């Protein structure tokens, strides 16, 4: 019988049915970080339980690490304590820790793929909702809570109900200046922030076939913002090409066997989906958010919505968002003054994100009124950018080039908005207060669009600022 | 490990209106710099309850009429965003023992169930009717009947939906799964043995 990748991976990892009707699912790869794991280790100690499969859990530190003053002890004693706690927990249990001195530290969703730990046909979990990122490799990857981290440490399994699968096709050719970030913002705008509840999103179509692994990761990363706990792309030659030669990838004879095995997990061409949604690539524009959740997004060419013109059921939320964002309804979003520009995060903090933005930033200057920071997703990304001189391009343009971490995506480290500053951000959430100030405002967009906002000091169309794509000759 | 069978929870209620209330709003990230969950209740909804100087904002949780509330009512897609268990932990430690909302984000729902917090889905108009009853009499007792998927408020009764897996887990005292998962150890080992990547 024809099956989707989701069903095949589920079947290969299902242990048994639990008394509540959920499935006990084996999670082959467990990733942990400093914020959501310490309590889980505490619970294990209270129950006097060992870590069942320490070789299948991998740790790194990302959320609270400072991106400028990185030597320990950190200025913030709470942050310092969290790193030490994770270090101690890993030492005691034998879990591999991509620690700060390792040169491999970074955002957990950048490190996993980079090390070749993230592989097709596997199950992955992490106490972080953006774990869906790893689905780019044809893995089924779940964000979980801390009690489930405890379950995973103790048993390498968790209880979970099976999801339905929605196939999302994006066919055609993206217009120049339209990026993976725009694709996922467009999908969420159309399907809603709760549209994916109960679903795994399988992304396909020519746009995804043409996407690099890093572009696929950007899209899968934000599946959770559309309510889908899991998002994935079927593995193909690009997936295998990316994984070949990475530290945790199979090698030698094992490599060919692994590729054969990985290929077998791809959805069968005639499999039945619970739902199918089609998008035309040509309909997608450079997209920015204007509100307080990622569904509240428009093309950079559009006007900010009005309460009056919104659906009856959305009116309250539109009004709440406009008030919080202090944006004028009905006016163009383009030209909105920005105070801070941030390029980084598990959504857009990879090599190609910095490469692409640097290509256009070269020869431009960040506006005087703007504070701009670039934060590589991992020490490895940082190192490659430095080798290629990308850090210099950013610095010469007026960006601060920082050390690896989550940084201003959620501002658990010293990188924060102040007061009601407005941030043009390549991250994934524009929730109220998300970037560290209770009144701070976030506008999500692609890294190149952030670069354009930094140069102009206002939300801008990168195609006009830099001559990206079709508007060059317009 | 014998767990309490949660067949129903009762208490006074408070209505925090709004859709898409995310877990960053329930517990802002800066309060997650901790290695235990102790004390999180204090920071529940912090940025919508407190001004930057620490004084109170106008918020239902700052209204003394609702200070005894243990049932929280809200809108659609409650608990969206981050997977942080700090959010349900903060709700629990603040004193909430049950939630009524139009719908929930998936991870939040699972986290609540694992802590033994029943999450009831109810129709918008029913939530508004219950909110009106609370407004009229903040001490009115609200009962979440998990077993029968009903909400009782005084002499009124409303239908609700509790996801079947959660309903069974709560009613049978199996909402914390660790015991049952541990029992499957040998079956887990068998599945592990079939997967090549697990050998690395």
Count of alpha carbons within 13 angstroms of residue A282, beta-carbon side:
1
> Which of A152, A50, A157 has its CA nearest to residue B184?
A157
pLDDT at residue A468 in the model: 77
B10-29: b (≥16 Cβ within 10 Å) or e: ebbbbbbeebbbbbbbbbbb
Tell me how far CA of residue A188 lies from CA of A24, A252, A435, A461, in angstroms. Answer: 30, 41, 21, 20
How many Cβ atoms from other residues are within 10 Å of residue A116's Cβ?
18
| Residue B3 in contact with partner chain A when CB distance is under 8 A | no
B123 in A contact zone (CB under 8 Å) = no
Q: Tell me how close the Cα of B127 comes to any Cα of chain A, in angstroms.
A: 15
Chain A residues within 8 A of B40 when measuring between CB atoms: none
User: Reduced to 3 states, what is the DSSP secondary structure of residue B75?
Assistant: coil
Q: By the 8 A CB rule, do A413 and A406 touch?
A: yes
* Chain A nearest C-alpha distance from B192 (Å): 8
Distance (Å) from the alpha carbon of A449 to chain B's nearest alpha carbon: 24
| Whole-number Å distance between alpha carbons of A415 and A67 | 8
Taking the CB of residue A25, how many other CB atoms lie within 10 A of it?
A: 25
pLDDT along chain A (474 residues), means of 10: 96 97 98 98 97 98 96 96 98 98 98 98 98 98 98 98 98 97 98 97 98 98 98 98 98 96 98 98 98 98 98 96 98 98 98 97 97 98 98 98 98 97 98 97 98 98 85 39
For testing the chain A interface, which of B82, B163, B164, B187 should be mutated: the one with the most A CBs within 10 Å? B82
Q: How many helices (H) and strands (E) does chain B have?
A: 8, 8
Spatial CB neighbours of A190, under 8 Å, sequence gap ≥ 6: A279
Residue among A340, A358, A335 at smallest CA distance from A448: A358
Q: What is the pLDDT of residue A473?
A: 37
* Domain residue limits, chain A: 5-275, 287-473
Domain residue ranges in chain B: 8-199
ipTM greater than 0.90, yes or no? yes
Interface test with B, best of A25, A159, A166, A437 (most B CBs within 10 A): A159
Fold of the A287-473 domain:
Aconitase; domain 3 (3.30.499)
Token digits of residue B103: 């719908």
Classified by CATH at the fold level, domain B8-199 comes out as: Aconitase; domain 4 (3.20.19)
Report pTM.
Answer: 0.97
Residue A469 has a pLDDT of 64
In the CATH scheme, what is the homologous superfamily, with its name and number, of domain A5-275? Aconitase, domain 3 (3.30.499.10)
10-residue stretch averages of pLDDT, chain B, 200 residues long: 91 98 97 95 97 95 98 98 98 98 98 98 98 98 98 96 97 96 97 92
Count of Cβ atoms closer than 10 Å to residue B184 Cβ: 18
Distance CA A250, CA A238 (A): 16
User: Are domains A5-275 and A287-473 of this chain identical in fold?
Assistant: yes
Rounded Cα–Cα distance for residues A52 and A441 (Å) = 43
Contact at CB, B110 and A119, closer than 8 angstroms = no
- Interatomic CA distance for residues A176 and B183, integer angstroms: 55
- Sort out which chain B residues have CB atoms less than 8 A from A145's CB and list them: 83-85, 88, 107, 110-111, 114
pLDDT of residue A269: 96
Residue entry with tokens 């590729």: A259
């Amino acid at each position: 019988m024809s099956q989707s990748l989701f069903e095949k991976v589920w079947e290969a990892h299902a242990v048994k049915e639990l008394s509540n009707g959920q499935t006990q699912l084996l999670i082959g790869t467990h990733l942990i970080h400093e914020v959501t794991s310490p309590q889980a280790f505490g619970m294990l100690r209270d129950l006097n339980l060992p870590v069942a499969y320490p070789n299948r859990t991998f740790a790194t530190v990302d959320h609270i690490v400072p991106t400028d003053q990185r030597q320990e002890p950190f200025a913030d004693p709470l942050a310092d304590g969290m790193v030490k706690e994770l270090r101690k927990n890993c030492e005691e249990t034998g879990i591999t820790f991509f620690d700060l001195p390792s040169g491999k530290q970074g955002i957990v969703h950048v490190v996993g793929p980079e090390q070749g730990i993230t592989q097709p046909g596997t199950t992955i979990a992490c106490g972080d909702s953006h774990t869906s990122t790893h689905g780019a490799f044809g893995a089924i990857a779940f964000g979980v809570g801390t009690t489930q981290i405890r379950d995973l440490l103790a048993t390498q399994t968790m209880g979970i109900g099976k999801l339905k699968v929605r196939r999302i096709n994006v066919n055609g050719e993206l217009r120049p200046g339209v990026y993976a970030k725009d694709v996922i913002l467009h999908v969420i705008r159309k399907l809603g922030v709760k549209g994916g509840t109960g679903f795994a999103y399988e992304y396909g179509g020519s746009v995804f076939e043409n996407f690099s692994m890093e572009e696929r990761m950007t899209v899968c990363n934000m599946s959770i913002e559309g309510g889908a706990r899991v998002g994935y792309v079927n593995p193909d030659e690009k997936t295998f090409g990316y994984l070949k030669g990475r530290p945790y990838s199979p090698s030698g004879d094992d490599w060919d066997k692994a590729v054969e095995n990985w290929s077998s997990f791809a959805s069968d061409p005639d499999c039945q989906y619970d739902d199918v949604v089609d998008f035309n690539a040509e309909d997608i524009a450079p997209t920015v958010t204007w509100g307080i959740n990622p569904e509240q997004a428009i093309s950079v060419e559009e006007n900010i919505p009005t309460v009056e013109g919104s659906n009856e059921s959305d009116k309250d939320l539109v009004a709440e968002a406009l008030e919080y964002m202090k944006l004028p309804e009905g006016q163009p979003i383009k030209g909105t003054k920005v105070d801070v520009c941030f390029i980084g995060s598990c959504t857009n903090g990879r090599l190609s994100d910095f490469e692409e933005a640097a290509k256009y930033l070269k020869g431009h200057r960040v506006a005087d009124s703007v504070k701009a920071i670039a934060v590589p997703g991992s020490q490895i990304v940082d190192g490659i950018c430095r080798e290629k001189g990308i850090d210099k391009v950013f610095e010469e343009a007026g960006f601060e080039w920082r050390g690896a971490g989550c940084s201003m995506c959620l501002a658990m480290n010293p990188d924060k908005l102040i007061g009601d500053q407005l941030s043009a951000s390549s991250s994934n959430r524009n929730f109220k207060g998300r970037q560290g100030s209770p009144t701070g405002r976030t506008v999500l967009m692609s890294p190149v669009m952030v670069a354009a906002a930094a140069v102009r000091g206002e939300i801008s169309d990168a195609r006009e600022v830099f001559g990206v794509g079709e508007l060059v000759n317009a | 490990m014998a767990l309490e069978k949660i067949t129903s929870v009762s208490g006074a209620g408070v209505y925090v209106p709004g859709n898409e209330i995310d877990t960053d709003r329930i517990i802002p990230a800066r309060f997650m710099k901790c290695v235990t969950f102790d004390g999180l209740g204090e920071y529940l909804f912090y940025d919508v309850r407190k001004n930057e100087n620490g004084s109170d904002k106008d918020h239902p949780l700052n209204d003394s009429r609702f200070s005894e509330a243990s049932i929280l009512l809200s809108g659609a897609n409650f608990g969206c965003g981050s997977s942080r268990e700090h959010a349900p932990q903060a709700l629990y430690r603040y004193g909430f023992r049950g939630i009524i909302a139009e719908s929930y984000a998936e991870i939040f729902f699972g986290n609540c169930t694992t802590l033994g917090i029943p999450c009831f889905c109810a129709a918008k108009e029913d939530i508004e009717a219950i909110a009106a009853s609370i407004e009229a009499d903040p001490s009115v007792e609200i009962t979440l009947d998990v077993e029968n998927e009903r909400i009782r408020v005084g002499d009124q009764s409303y239908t609700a939906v509790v996801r079947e897996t959660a309903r069974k887990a709560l009613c049978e005292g199996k909402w914390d799964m660790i015991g049952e998962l541990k029992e499957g150890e040998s079956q887990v080992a068998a599945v592990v043995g079939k997967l090549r990547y697990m050998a690395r």
